[in-house]
């Protein structure tokens, strides 16, 4: 049942190259995924601002357009306003827990250092071990880094809270039962006469194509994230062959091979979307001209646009909260490891101190 | 992404 404990051990040069490679890879993937998501958000934003597709579905002028009803169902299914309210309520506690672990850890170092300094003041040259302050520099630097990370997290929490405050009213409306939601949307003239007209058909087809592009991107995101490759083999080979690792060159070549094609597809998707959105703008202009707008239909349109945006905001806030919760939980694990490092070194220093004291007393 | 990345910190640094 022998298992090689040192199976994963590699030369230092390979270890360092792998760290940099992994950073490059995750930067690349994050940028690619970020680009795709930004494009989808842009698309959703443009459509919402044009009241699409709701305007095309709004036959009677007083019932809820299908796409809005679907958006409402979708966020109710995801837990509605309550689920994001709960996550927001939990954030401060998560922050506090992390702060406490960090504060405890640094306090341990401070206390041991104080004792060490007191003993050095008392015994002078006879207390000849390295001062704790010097030994603790790297740990304190790590601690300072954690503090700045927590400060950034606090700012992120604030952004989420503000987003929530801005949109919660409309989100709440979208979560209401159908009859209440319908009553809250002003009535207007029906646009029945426009159904079947060419511009409506064109808009429908353009919007369908945009939906397809968005779906493709979801698939693409999954594929990009699923790419695996063991770069350590390449680095080991290079080291054995050349005696050194040209990390930058090897990494960029490999990353291009792994992700180059995906990058092309993403760029193509952006170009197609831009074209389609342009077409939508043109068609929508025509559509607006045909529609007979008055104060009521404008009011109705405004509310429908706000409801569509509320859905997008809900999705964004949910994602932010999921990210924030995961961030704090991941950070707790990391801080607990840091706390262990601090308590281990303090324990070792205490043991050493006790031995030194014994020696001094005996001498 | 809104929150800072913890990627660097997840890697166990070599203790010298």
DSSP class of residue A52?
T
CB < 8 Å to B4, chain A: 149, 152-153, 156, 327
Is there a contact between A127 and A117 (Cβ–Cβ < 8 Å)?
no
Residues B10, A152: C-beta atoms closer than 8 Å? no
The answer, yes or no, to whether residue A73 has pLDDT greater than 90, is yes
3-state secondary structure of A125: helix
Of B2, B9, B14, the CB nearest to A320: B2
Is the CB of B6 less than 8 angstroms away from the CB of A160?
no
The Cα A287–Cα A1 span in angstroms is: 74
**What is the number of residues in chain B?**
16
Of the partner residues B1, B9, B10, the one whose CB lies closest to the CB of residue A323:
B1
Q: What is the mean pLDDT of residues A190-215?
A: 88
Mean pLDDT across the stretch A305-309? Answer: 95
Q: Cβ of A322 under 8 Å from any chain B Cβ?
A: no
User: Within an 8 Å CB–CB cutoff, is residue A172 touching chain B?
Assistant: no
Backbone angles phi and psi of A58, in degrees to 5: -80, 75
- A191: confidence class by pLDDT, cuts 50, 70, 90: low
B contact residues 1-16, partner A, Cβ 8 Å cutoff: 1-4, 6-11, 14
Rounded Cα distance between B12 and A334, Å, is 10
Q: Which residues of A touch B2 (CB under 8 A)?
A: 156, 159-160, 320, 323-324
Among A1-15, A68-82, A188-202, the range with the most confident prediction by mean pLDDT is A68-82
* Cβ within 8 Å, pair A153-B14: no
Could you give the 3-state DSSP secondary structure of residue A9? coil
Q: Which residues of A touch B16 (CB under 8 A)?
A: none
Per-residue pLDDT at B12: 60
Specify the pLDDT at position A192. Answer: 65
Alpha-carbon span B6 to A146, nearest angstrom: 10
Taking CB atoms and an 8 Å limit, are A323 and B3 in contact across chains? Answer: yes
Question: Taking CA A298 as the corner, what is the angle to CA A297 and CA A300, rounded to the nearest 5 degrees?
Answer: 65
Place of tokens 């698939």: A219
Mean pLDDT of the A158-182 span: 94
- Closest CB to B3: pick one of A19, A30, A153: A153
pLDDT band, residue A1 (cuts 50/70/90): confident
Distance from CA of A174 to the nearest CA of B (A): 25
Interface ipTM above 0.90: no
Q: Please list every residue in chain B whose beta carbon sits closer than 8 Å to the beta carbon of residue A137.
A: none
Lowest-confidence pick of A20-29, A210-219, A289-298: A289-298
Report the gap between the CA of A335 and the closest CA in chain B (Å).
Answer: 10
A326 close to A55: Cβ distance less than 8 angstroms: no
Rounded Cα gap, residues A71 and A77, in angstroms: 10
Report CB contact under 8 Å: B11, A19. yes
- pLDDT score recorded for residue A291: 79
Give exposure, A181-205, as e/b (b: 16+ Cβ within 10 Å): beeebbebbebeebeeeebbebbee
Share of chain A above pLDDT 70, in %: 99
A-chain residues within 8 Å CB-CB of B1?
Answer: 30, 34, 323
Q: Can you give the pLDDT at residue A61? A: 77
Q: Hey, are the CB atoms on B3 and A156 less than 8 Å from each other? A: yes
The pLDDT value recorded for residue A213 is 97
A160 in contact with chain B, both atoms CB, cutoff 8 A:
yes
Please indicate whether, in this complex, the C-beta atoms of A34 and B1 are within 8 angstroms of each other. yes
CA dist A50 and A288 (Å) reads 10
Q: By the CB < 8 Å criterion, does A143 face chain B?
A: no
């Amino acid at each position: 049942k022998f298992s090689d404990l040192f199976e994963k051990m590699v030369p230092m040069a390979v270890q360092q190259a792998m760290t940099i490679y992994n950073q490059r890879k995750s930067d690349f993937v994050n940028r690619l995924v970020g680009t795709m998501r930004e494009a989808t958000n842009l698309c959703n934003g443009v459509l919402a601002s044009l009241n699409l597709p709701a305007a095309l579905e709004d036959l009677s002028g007083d019932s809820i357009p299908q796409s809005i009803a679907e958006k409402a169902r979708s966020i109710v299914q995801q837990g509605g306003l309550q689920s994001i309210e709960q996550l927001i309520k939990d954030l401060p506690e998560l922050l506090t827990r992390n702060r406490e672990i960090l504060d405890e850890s640094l306090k341990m170092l401070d206390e041991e250092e104080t004792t060490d300094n007191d003993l050095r003041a008392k015994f002078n040259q006879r207390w000849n071990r390295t001062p704790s302050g010097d030994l603790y520099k790297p740990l304190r630097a790590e601690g300072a880094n954690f503090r700045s990370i927590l400060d950034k997290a606090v700012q992120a929490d604030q952004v989420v809270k503000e987003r929530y405050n801005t949109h919660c009213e409309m989100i709440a409306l979208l979560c209401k039962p159908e009859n209440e939601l319908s009553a809250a949307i002003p009535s207007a003239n029906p646009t029945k006469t426009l159904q079947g007209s060419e511009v409506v058909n064109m808009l429908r087809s353009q919007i369908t194509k945009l939906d397809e592009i968005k779906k493709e991107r979801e698939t693409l995101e999954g594929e990009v994230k699923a790419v695996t490759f063991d770069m350590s083999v390449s680095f080991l080979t290079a080291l054995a062959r050349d005696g050194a690792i040209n990390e930058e060159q090897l990494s960029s070549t490999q990353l291009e091979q792994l992700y180059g094609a995906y990058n092309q597809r993403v760029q193509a998707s952006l170009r197609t979307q831009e074209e389609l959105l342009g077409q939508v703008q043109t068609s929508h202009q025509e559509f607006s001209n045909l529609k007979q707008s008055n104060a009521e239909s404008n009011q109705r349109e405004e509310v429908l646009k706000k409801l569509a945006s509320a859905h997008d905001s809900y999705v964004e806030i949910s994602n932010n909260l999921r990210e924030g919760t995961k961030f704090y939980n991941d950070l707790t694990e990391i801080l607990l490891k840091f706390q262990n490092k601090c308590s281990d070194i303090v324990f070792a220093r205490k043991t050493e101190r006790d031995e030194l004291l014994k020696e001094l007393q005996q001498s | 992404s809104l929150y800072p990345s913890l990627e660097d910190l997840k890697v166990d640094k070599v203790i010298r």
